[in-house]
Amino acid sequence: MALPNRVQYLNTVANPEITRDNRRAQEEEKRRLERSRQEFAKKTAARNNRMKMSAVLTILFMATALFVTIFRSGMIYNMQKEYVELQNETRLTLKNNEALQAEIIKASSIGEIAEKSIALELVSVGQESAIAADLSRNNFMEDEPLVEQPKFTDKVFSMLNLNFFN
| Statement: the pTM of the whole predicted model exceeds 0.85 | no
Q: Give the Cα-Cα-Cα angle 154, 156, 158 (nearest 5 degrees).
A: 65
The tens digit of pLDDT for each residue in 41-98 reads 999 999 999 999 999 999 999 999 999 999 999 999 999 999 999 999 999 999 999 9
> What are the residue boundaries of the structural domains of the chain, listed by start?
16-119
Highest mean predicted confidence (pLDDT) among 3-17, 97-111, 147-161:
97-111
Quote the pLDDT of residue 82: 95
DSSP state of 131: P
Amino acid letter for position 123:
V
The tens digit of pLDDT for each residue in 2-42 reads 555 655 555 565 656 666 677 788 889 999 999 999 999 99
Q: Using pLDDT thresholds of 50, 70 and 90, give the confidence band for residue 164.
A: low
C-alpha radius of gyration, the chain, whole number: 59
Task: Give how far Cα 122 sits from Cα of 110, 113, 118, 125, Å.
Answer: 15, 11, 6, 9
Q: Using pLDDT thresholds of 50, 70 and 90, give the confidence band for residue 111.
A: confident
Check pLDDT > 80 for residue 119.
yes
Check pLDDT > 70 for residue 123.
yes
Average pLDDT on 135-153 reads 77
Amino acid letter for position 116:
K
Run of H or E including 124: none
DSSP state of 127: G
Sign of CA dihedral 15, 18, 22, 25: positive
